[in-house]
Amino acid sequence: MATATSTDFSVSGETLQFGNNEKNILAYWKQINAFETSNKLSKDRPKYTFYDGPPFATGLPHYGHILAGTIKDTVTRWAYQTGHHVERRFGWDCHGLPVEYEIDKTLGIKGPEDVAKMGIATYNNHCRQIVMRYANEWEDVVDRMGRWIDFRHDYKTMYPWFMESVWFVFKQLFDKDLVYRGFKVMPYSMGCCTPLSNFEAGQNYKDTDDPAVWVSFPLVDEPTVKLVAWTTTPWTLPSNLALCVNPNSTYVKILDKTKNETFILMEKRLAELYKKPDSYQVLETLKGSQLKGLRYTPLFPYFAHVESAFRVLCDDYVTEESGTGVVHQAPYFGEDDHRVCLANGVINRDTGPVVCPIDAQCRFTDEVKDFQGQNVKEADKAIIKFLKESKRLVHQSVMKHSYPFCWRSDTPLIYRAVPSWFVRVEGMIDRLLANNSKAYWVPDFVKEKRFANWLRDARDWAISRNRYWGNPIPLWISDDGQEVVCVGSIEELQQLSGVKLDDIHREFVDDVTIPSRTGKGVLRRIPEVFDCWFESGSMPYAQVHYPFENKDTFMNTFPADFIAEGIDQTRGWFYTLLVISTALYDQPPFKNLIVNGIVLASNGEKMSKRKKNYPDPKLIFEEYGADALRLYLITSPVVRGESLKFKEEGVRDVVKDVFLPWYNALRLLVQSCDQLKVDKKVTFVYDEKRLYASMASNTNVMDTWIVSYTQTLLDFVKQEMDAYRLYTVVPRLVKYIDMLTNWYVKLNKRRFKGETSQEDCLISLNVLCYVLLTMSKLMGPFTPFLAEYMYQVLRKLMPPSSADASEQDLSVHFHLMPKSENSLINKEIERAVAAVQTVICMGRVVRERKIVPMKYPLPEFVIIHKDASILKELQSLEDFVREGLNVRKVTFSQDRELYGVEMRAEPNYPTLGKKAGSKVKAVTEKIRAMSDADIEQLLSKGENEGPLTVIDEIPIETEDVHIVYRVAKQTQFEATAEQGFVVLLDYTADASLKDEGLIREITSRVQKLRKEAKVKPTDDINIYYAVEPLTSEIARIALEQQNEITTILGKPFLPLASSQNNKVIISKKVPVKDGEIEFVITESTN
């Protein structure tokens, strides 16, 4: 049996403090141990597997995390409520650059020598202490946003059992011959002193200004002739070993008339250096291949002894789009440079020479004496000065371009050759693409374009990092590098080494040796650790300690049913997951994926703590509630992979336009039930059988409509959620709330209040209760707090025998999602009500145009449509049209001409102008000259039948013309048209109608005053009034219609002069039309 709880959920007041209410819900969930209870209730269901990408806890959660967390929570809640057991475990990235960079800043560590002095054990201990710095803040924010996930049984990449599974993954790759050691030019972070992978290098491009220099290289055999090369990295020039030209391009030898020097460069690049053709003279034209082998004088003396260097090479990678067509080659600082110099024997893979004169911090070494100790980027100015003084600088400028920066230290990356360990990715590109095609992505374009394109150009993955706080790569190697042992588990290492281990971080395994099996002494571990992306890419296996534990569980639930992260992970987690799962099992690691876009500041800039250009999420939670933020985010383009400019007013509008109307529908239900109890001594109890009976007898058309519309919604949401299209689901749910509150509730208020009959009142309340109960379950995954609140209030209206029947009833989130009932679907009535809504909206447009408020009834509303069956459907709902527009009479007709309605075609210049061009004037005249018959013919044309018409060879589409309707014969009518309907509203009112309007003016002011004073409908009150001046129309109406106003208000409406000494609740003077009324609401003495 379910236990009673101390949390009281009630409806009080015109509004709900959503932020405070959510705190009450959180307390309730804690009280009933909600998340754990939900898992207990679902333990025997089919499993739905979800992988949570691990964040670093060294930074605070931001809107990007809240967005991704909302998507994950929504989908996993939906999976739970559609009959699955969903394990949701939080994970943490603990190793790598984000942590080390923080420690380096704190301790002032500049490079490897500082760590060596401190000792790796001490350094790693510092890292360990800050890894979970913001874990509590993370848990608070995740909890506050209503996300249900298990922190108690989390995984951390620094747990030894997690690290051991990563070793297992690596050994599988090693045994498949997918691991090798290479000396490659790679992106290198000078801020973190380590190489990065190519996908890491692509994560943080920035526009930056770099020096561009044109440099001369005199030929050895002809010193007065100089090749001109161009570079934006002057710091690489001291390491120059060759020049490269395109063998198939045309080069020219020219005389620079200003400098009186002879230069060689690509013909197509002359305009880059010479703006005026008369400033040079072409002396000779030659192919690039003719330059091959020419020797030149080195720029600097540092490596002049290298005999194989300082000659011209040829390669197709030299383009005609930039520079001079002569590319300087520093083979240890450029990928193409390295390839070309290797191919042409300038350097040798085994014998060198290795010309890489910089240290781990990217400072020049003593090999480059003139710039020794200078950071390479900072040395640019000194190098340019040197070039100028040695008369080798031809020209210089500043170039603005997009350049990669380190994603962690935010320092510019350089490219340098370093020895690294790689996973062979290039050989599995076809398999990666094939496995990617098996997964379902939302939105699809990210899969087919962005991610697939990235996969096609995938490079071998550098997985080693020259760092300390990480998972050590488990390779033990002999001194000559010939014997290599890859260890796949802690137990294997213990057996091979004889050393007992509880932890496998560097400080514990670096000194562990393995005896050689071939007589080579001992094998020692290589110093590198894994790239932290290798660890997060291994999380499907490591989070369950596979294969050392949970082997069957893992195999039965792999691949994951669902993952979700931001679009930036196409080059991060999505990629590493796919590479590892393809290498291990040749299948995708996930079946379904939602990719969200980026949340930007309101001005379109990146959100920045330093700029403070976004509101604190905690303040948003406090002011509007987490549900409002959740709904704002997942109704935006960001769930389609696009960017969102975050605007606080968007969150506020969710509260105003969605939550308050939804809450007020609940409030109306509760107040109507209370009123029924006071007036009729009848206690309302929700009765599902009564619902089905009333639908079967079709007692009320609007009841049938809202119940049928609810079934249609249930079908739609299931269909779209099964396809992971949150961007179609949530707008439809919001539209449904609008339909419920602005149509069903507004058009049935008299029934709820019991003004029709008691039976009709009970039927309407039953329908409203059903709809709100269904909505609370349907909205549960999207707005978990408000859905829970609604459900808890509605529970009090359930039959006593079922309200506390089981543990499942303690929370809306323990229930399964309701399914649609075919017997409750009535498509004809849904179509008819949609038509009613159309014509009412059209009528309201006319009212606004003529400035006639809804309070004032009007004589007649005419609905014209050519289709008699549509008019017949509308006639069955005539009462709702009359009430919705506040008109006395509704007339239906197929004859537009009977009412003198004329049509006129007008051009829509924004679209027509682009299409017609110079013919727009002539086309406009012909459009305006169209007869009624011509226009009728246009309107009868189907959507897929081509253009409406062709005028002067210009196809005229629907968007190119506006059809304007006007009433020629009867001046009391105003017309408008839409979707095949023409409606006419008689906006003239006689004295009796105006009097009715004035009555509504009075009753409306009183109702507002009651709300202001927080007076409940069941409160016993008197309403007194006094009007000034007594000669005003409003004074006459108050006196003459006193009884009518009393009936409408349901409370005595009396002259102020007759008031007794009752306690005053509120008193206020209000201007109304041509007078001023003083209202006094008092407690009744009855």
pLDDT tens, position by position, 230-277: 998 999 999 999 999 999 999 999 999 888 999 999 998 888 888 888
Token pair belonging to 385? 């000065």
Question: What is this structure's pTM?
Answer: 0.80
Q: Terminus-to-terminus CA distance in the chain, angstroms?
A: 45
Instruction: Name which of 469, 463, 462 is nearest 510 in CA terms.
Output: 469
Q: Are 704 and 628 in contact (CB under 8 A)?
A: no
User: How do residues 451-503 score in pLDDT, each as one tens digit?
Assistant: 999 999 888 898 998 889 999 999 999 998 889 999 999 999 999 999 999 99
What's the rounded mean pLDDT across residues 152-171? Answer: 94
d(CA 414, CA 379): 14
Least confident of 579-588, 937-946, 1046-1055: 937-946
Query: Looking at the DSSP assignment, which residues form a beta bridge with residue 1082?
Result: 1022, 1064
Q: What percent of the chain has pLDDT over 90?
A: 42
- List 92, 167, 469, 573, catalytic entry: 573
Residue showing tokens 């040829």: 314
| pLDDT surpassing 70 at residue 993 | yes
Q: What DSSP character marks residue 601?
A: -
State the pLDDT confidence band at 199, using cuts at 50, 70 and 90.
Answer: low
Contact (Cβ atoms closer than 8 angstroms) between residue 353 and residue 303: yes
Q: Is 569 a catalytic residue?
A: yes
User: What is the Cα–Cα distance from 935 to 939, expressed in whole angstroms?
Assistant: 6
- Give dist(CA 716, CA 722) in Å, integer: 10
Q: What amino acid is encoded at 137 in this protein?
A: E
What are residue 593's DSSP bridge partners? 441, 563
pLDDT of 88-144, one tens digit each?
A: 999 998 998 888 888 888 898 887 888 889 999 999 999 998 888 888 888 899 999
Token reading at 856: 């004032």
Joined together, the tokens standing for residue 654 give: 């969710």
Per-residue pLDDT tens over the stretch 870-880: 898 888 888 88
Identified catalytic residue from 176, 381, 609, 969: 609
Active site residue 743: no
C-alpha distances out from residue 96 to 51, 91, 99, 441, 490, Å: 21, 15, 6, 29, 21
What are the structure tokens assigned to 412, written together?
Answer: 């510019």
pLDDT in tens, 542-559: 999 999 999 988 988 999
**Residue among 73, 93, 104, 531 flagged as catalytic:** 93
Taking residues 916-942, report their average pLDDT. Answer: 76
Helix, strand, coil percentages (3-state) for the chain, rounded to 5, are 45, 20, 35
Mean pLDDT of the chain: 88
Q: Is the pLDDT of residue 2 over 50?
A: no
pLDDT at 240: 94
At which residue do the structure tokens 């209760």 appear?
Answer: 769
Amino acid sitting at position 283: L
Nearest Cα residue to 63 out of 508, 417, 566: 566
Residue carrying the six token digits 């527009």: 885
Asked whether the beta carbons of 1027 and 1058 are under 8 A apart, the reply is: no
Residues 6 or more apart from 926 whose CB is under 8 A from it?
951, 952
Q: How many helices (H) and strands (E) does the chain have?
A: 42, 40
pLDDT per residue as tens digits for the range 724-758: 999 898 889 889 999 999 889 988 888 888 888 88
530 within 8 A of 471, measured Cβ to Cβ? yes
Question: Which helix (H) or strand (E) is 270 found in, with range?
Answer: helix 270-273
Beta bridge pairs of residue 893: 864
Q: Which helix (H) or strand (E) holds 186?
A: strand 179-189
Taking the C-alpha atoms of residue 594 and residue 573, their distance in angstroms, rounded to an integer, is 13
Greater pLDDT, 117 or 851: 117
Query: Which one is predicted more confidently, 1 or 830?
Result: 830
Helix ranges (H only) for 48-133 are 63-81, 97-107, 112-118, 120-130
Return the closest-CA partner of residue 181 out of 484, 467, 580.
484
What is the C-alpha separation between 247 and 313, in angstroms, rounded?
Answer: 9
pLDDT at 785 over 90: yes
In angstroms, the CA 789 to CA 791 distance is: 5
Are 337 and 331 a contacting pair, CB within 8 Å?
A: yes
Q: Which of 374, 543, 569, 711 is catalytic?
A: 569
| Given the residues 138, 214, 533, 705, the one annotated as active site | 533
Mean pLDDT score, 974-994: 82
Rounded to an integer, the average pLDDT of 1048-1071 is 85
Give every strand in the sheet of 250-256, ordered side by side. 280-287, 250-256, 261-266, 225-231, 205-218, 393-404
User: The sheet that has 513-515: what strands, in order across it?
Assistant: 484-486, 475-477, 522-525, 513-515
Give the least confident one: 3-17, 185-199, 845-859, 1038-1052.
3-17
The DSSP secondary-structure symbol of 157 reads T
**Is the separation of the CB atoms in 404 and 198 below 8 Å?**
no
Confidence bin at 57 (pLDDT 50/70/90): confident
Q: What SS3 state is found at 421?
A: strand
299 contacts: CB under 8 Å, gap ≥ 6: 215, 217, 237, 238, 240, 387, 390, 392
Q: How many CA atoms lie within 13 A of 504 on its CB side?
A: 27
**At a CB cut-off of 8 Å and minimum separation 6, what does 1059 contact?**
1022, 1024, 1080, 1082
Q: What is the largest CA-CA distance in the chain?
A: 121
Does residue 947 register a pLDDT over 80? no
Mean pLDDT score, 667-688: 87
* 819 counts as catalytic: no
Residue 978: pLDDT over 60: yes
The span from the CA of 667 to the CA of 1018, in Å, is 13
Query: Which member of 117, 176, 257, 606 is catalytic?
Result: 606
Catalytic residue among 29, 52, 54, 472: 54
Residue given tokens 């609810």 in the structure block: 710
pLDDT at 944: 55
Report d(CA 559, CA 591) in Å as an integer: 7
Report the distance separating Cα 364 and Cα 172, nearest Å. 40
Closest of 585, 610, 620, 614 to residue 599, by C-alpha: 614
Cβ partners under 8 Å of residue 136, min gap 6: none
* 29 is an active site residue: no
Check residue 1 and give its pLDDT.
Answer: 34
Q: Is the pLDDT assigned to residue 802 strictly greater than 60?
A: no
503 has catalytic annotation: no
pLDDT band at 207 (very low <50, low <70, confident <90, very high): confident
Are 1034 and 1072 contacting, i.e. CB atoms less than 8 angstroms apart?
A: yes
Q: How far is it, in rounded angstroms, from Cα 581 to Cα 536?
A: 12
> What is the spatial distance between Cα 996 and Cα 1001, in angstroms, rounded to a whole number?
9
606 catalytic per annotation: yes
Of 429-433, 800-804, 844-848, where does mean pLDDT reach its minimum?
Answer: 800-804
Of 361 and 219, the structure prediction assigns the larger pLDDT to 219
Q: Is 54 a catalytic residue?
A: yes
